[in-house]
Amino acid sequence: MSRTREVEHFTPKCHLKITDKRLSKWQNRYKPRKHLQNTLCQSFRKEHPANMILSHLTHPIVGFTTHPGLIYPGIFAYINYQTQKTRLMKQLKLQVQISVDGFIAGPNGEMDWLAWNATEDFIQYVTELTDSCDTMLLGRKLADGFIPYWTDITTRPKDPQYSFARKMVDMPKIVFSNTLDKSSWDNTQIAKSDSVTEINDLKKQDGKDIVMYGGAEFVTSVIKAGLIDEYHLFVNPAAAGKGMSIFGGLEKPGQLSLIKATPLTNGIVVLCYKPA
């Protein structure tokens, strides 16, 4: 009988509720194999830090019997228990429109080069990204136009963008500003403290992830601090020639790993990156 089996072969009955008493019992029973259990747990957390579903772990378990009722429940319980002990932090996701030559706006904030056609696949991508988050971050300059724009659309229920505008207005927002003392917008707080400290504190809270839109100076400062977990760059089929860049102020090159590229029917290609 083979002594190697993929974790994905676990049966549903092995997905057990973990208690300290049960964990202690399994650890004592399989004490000689504890170092192997620790190795598996560490491998799981390294390869899949944001995934609690064990079937996604494809490393073979070497040296364990394949009897489904003997070792497997203990291994599952041990890994699952260990991963749940370390609570995952919220992810900060940057969504930004960008030209093919790397600008998010012209020198004076012009955005006349944007592909304004909101096609069905464009709306679906943005909606799914928005629905994965429960907090929005904005710089003050962007907030001045962004929040009133979506708020105005919510006064027109027949507008095609009404349902999405409702999401934008209802989502809790944090505007980073050194000049504003209080917010005149609904569901909006003003953050005057250090953005690095504020964002790190937000990441530790419970709930969904955090989406960030800009503006340029604010985004650049957050990129420099290494706080972006996902980049969703909506690359428009246009060259701005010159303007505002979110990467221009970096002191050293930053390496990114491409997660996926999604071409849209309006000509935009969404590039999703994570820090390498």
Which tens digit of pLDDT belongs to each residue from 109-120?
888 889 878 899
In whole numbers, what is the pLDDT of the chain averaged over residues?
Answer: 77
Q: Please give the residue that has the higher pLDDT: either 62 or 128.
A: 128
Q: What is the 3-state secondary structure (H, E, C) of 241-270?
A: CCCECCCCCCCCCCCEEEEEEEECCCCCEE
CA distances for 159 relative to 1, 112, 165, 214, angstroms: 65, 22, 9, 25
Look at residue 261 and tell me whether its pLDDT is greater than 50: yes
pLDDT digits (tens, 9 = 90+) for 22-42: 555 555 654 544 454 454 445
pTM above 0.85, yes or no: no
Q: Facing residues of 133 across strands?
A: 209
Average pLDDT value for residue range 215-239: 94
Q: Facing residues of 136 across strands?
A: 173, 211
Is the Cβ–Cβ distance between 131 and 93 less than 8 Å? no
Residue-wise burial string across 170-199, b where 16 or more C-beta atoms lie within 10 A, e elsewhere:
ebebbbbbeebeebebeebebbeeebeebb
d(CA 203, CA 187): 19
